[in-house]
Amino acid sequence: MKYLIAALLVATAAPVFANGDVNAGAQKAASCMACHGAEGKTTVPLYPNLAGQNAAYLSHALQAYKKGERSGGQAEVMKAFVAGLSDTDIEDLAAYYHSLKP
């Protein structure tokens, strides 16, 4: 019975983990690597690691940059990078970085 409940919880929670396409996100991540590093792990303390980050958080953050709702730090740089991304692109990138090991 415990296993059935656990399986049902995992099955219903799966869409929450990532709505995007991991493989498509990997293809779109080339411009992110300059600051966030290969595999989402940066060597520059100024930039955050993205590997293993929560997909919903990444999607929300990218949308906020795109809408100009974030300021300070590297917000203007990020705004320029995400300006041309579609909602699908953002979901794909979020899924990709979420899938990487921190």
Taking the C-alpha atoms of residue 25 and residue 97, their distance in angstroms, rounded to an integer, is 8
pLDDT of residue 1: 54
Spatial CA neighbour of 81 closest among 24, 22, 36: 36
The model's pLDDT over 32-56, given as tens digits with 9 standing for 90+, comes to: 999 999 999 999 999 999 999 999 9
- Mean pLDDT, each 10-residue run in order, the chain (102 residues): 45 55 97 96 95 98 97 95 97 98 94
Is residue 34 within 8 Å of residue 80, measured between CB atoms?
no
**pLDDT value at position 50?**
98
> Which CATH number applies to 18-99?
1.10.760.10
Continuous H helices in 18-54: 22-28, 33-36
**Model-level pTM?**
0.81
Between the alpha carbon of residue 79 and those of residues 46, 62, 66, the distances in Å are: 17, 8, 5
